[in-house]
Amino acid sequence: MKFGIFDHLDRSDLPLHEYYEARLKLVEFYDRNDFYAYHIAEHHQTPLGMAPSPSVFLAAVAQRTKRLRFGPMIYALPLYHPIRIIEEICMLDQMSGGRLEMGFGRGASPTELEYYGQDPRNAQQIYSEALELILKGLTEKTLTYRGQFFNFDNVPMELETFQKPYPPVWYGAHAPDSAARAARRGLKVIALDPPGEIRAAYDSYRAAWRETHGGRALPLMGLGRFIVVSPTDAEAVALARRAYPQWHASFTHLRRMHNRVNPHPRPPTYDELVQVGQGIAGSPGTVTEYLRKQILDTGSNYLVGQFAFGDLSIDETLQSLKLFTSEVMPRLAVL
C-alpha cells in the first residue's frame, strides 16, 4: 500500500502570498514523511483552485522537495496548446530529476472551458487527440501530426523528459468503461467516488488489465478521501464540520453561478460525506478502521488523502498529518 496526497488548492482565508507558502510547507512535510506523490487539481476563475497553472506551482514543489513525486491531476487538455504542454512536462521532469507524474483529462467544468472560448461538446475529442499528440511528441525528435484539431509538420522537439519514454500517466476513473480503457492503455488511476462505484470501476479495470497485460503487476489504483485526524473523534468531527462546507461552497461556486448540474456531485455537509463514504474525521483508530474497510472493499492499492481543505489552518492540517503518518499509515501499509 502506497500513500499520496490530492489537493484542489481551494481558497482559504489567508492572503494569497501566505496561502502559497503554507501549502509549500505542507508539501515539505509530505516529502519528509513517505508519501509517494502529490497530485493537484486544475481549475480556473473559481475559488476551488488557486493553482490554475499547475506547472507554475509544481515548479516550486520541485525545488522544495527531494524525493516526493508530483503532478497535475489533471492537466485540462482543451485549454493547452500541445507543444507548450510538451515543453512544460519536459522542464518539470528534468528540474525534479524525474519525479513528475502526468495526469490528463478533458476538464471537469464546462463553464471553465467556455471562459477560455472552448466548446465543451468538443472536450472529449480534443482530449483524446491532444493526449495522443503529447505522448508522440515526448518520444520523437520531430513532430508530424494530422488531426481534426491539431496539425504539425516536422516541428523539432528540442526538450526531452528525464524519465523514459516519458513520465507515468494518470487518469481519473469514474465508471467501469473508462476504467477499462485506462487499464488497456496502462494508465494509473485515482477515483474519488463512493465505494460501490469505485469497486465497480476497479473490477472492470482489473479485468481489462488481465486481458491486455496478462500477469503483469497492476499499476497504482488510487482511493481518494477527505481525511481529518485528531486525538479524539469529537475534535476531528468539529474541524471537518467547520471546514468542509467552505470547500463545498468553492466546489459548487461556478455551478451555482451558472445554474448547472454537477456531473460528479459531493454532499453539502461533512456528515453526509461520511454517509456516502467519501471522507472521514476521527481519532487514529476510527480513521484506520474506516479506511481499512474501504481499501479492502474497493481493491485499491494507493490511498490518496485530501488533508488541506476549506478553512483548516496549517497547524490544524499538520496535526492531522502527524497523527496520520505516525498512527494510521503504519497500520494500513501492510494491507
Q: What is the pTM of this model?
A: 0.96
Q: Is residue 52 part of a domain?
A: no
Task: Kindly give, in sequence order, each residue whose CB lies less than 8 Å from that of residue 211, ignoring residues fewer than 6 positions away.
Answer: 184
Last residue of a domain, one of 113, 146, 172: 172
C-beta separation of 81 from 129 below 8 A? no
Q: Is residue 208 part of a domain?
A: no
Q: Based on the fold, state whether residues 159 and 118 are members of the same structural domain.
A: yes
Last residue of a domain, one of 172, 204, 238: 172
Q: Which of 216, 110, 106 is nearest to 172 (CA)?
A: 106
Beta carbons within 10 angstroms of residue 18's beta carbon: 12
**For the segment 36-75, what is each residue's pLDDT rounded down to a tens digit?**
999 999 999 999 999 999 999 999 999 999 999 999 999 9
SS3 41: coil
Q: Based on the fold, state whether residues 95 and 27 are members of the same structural domain.
A: no
Q: Based on the fold, state whether residues 137 and 98 are members of the same structural domain.
A: yes
Q: Is residue 203 part of a domain?
A: no
SS3 70: strand
C-beta separation of 240 from 279 below 8 A? yes
Digitized pLDDT (tens) for each residue of the chain, 335 residues in all: 999 999 999 999 999 999 999 999 999 999 999 999 999 999 999 999 999 999 999 999 999 999 999 999 999 999 999 999 999 999 999 999 999 999 998 888 899 999 999 999 999 999 999 999 999 999 999 999 999 999 999 999 999 999 999 999 999 988 999 999 999 999 999 999 999 999 999 999 999 999 999 999 999 999 999 999 999 999 999 999 999 999 999 999 999 999 888 767 899 999 999 999 999 999 999 999 999 999 999 999 999 999 999 999 999 999 999 999 999 999 999 98
Q: Counting beta carbons within 10 angstroms of the beta carbon of residue 324, is it exposed (0 to 12), middle (13 to 18) or buried (19 or more)? A: buried
Q: Is residue 177 part of a domain?
A: no
Q: Which domain holds residue 83?
A: 74-172
Calpha distance 328→227 (Å, rounded): 11
Last residue of a domain, one of 147, 172, 197: 172
Calpha distance 128→7 (Å, rounded): 25
Q: Is residue 69 part of a domain?
A: no
Q: Based on the fold, state whether residues 277 and 331 are members of the same structural domain.
A: yes
Q: Is residue 29 part of a domain?
A: yes
Q: Based on the fold, state whether residues 325 and 230 are members of the same structural domain.
A: yes
Q: Is residue 184 part of a domain?
A: no
Beta carbons within 10 angstroms of residue 185's beta carbon: 13
Q: Based on the fold, state whether residues 334 and 254 are members of the same structural domain.
A: yes
Q: Based on the fold, state whether residues 240 and 335 are members of the same structural domain.
A: yes
CA distance to 20, 23, 53, 270, per residue, from 17 (Å):
5, 10, 16, 29
What are residue 127's phi and psi, to 5 degrees? Answer: -55, -50
Calpha distance 8→273 (Å, rounded): 17
Number of structural domains (the chain) is 2
Q: Based on the fold, state whether residues 123 and 163 are members of the same structural domain.
A: yes
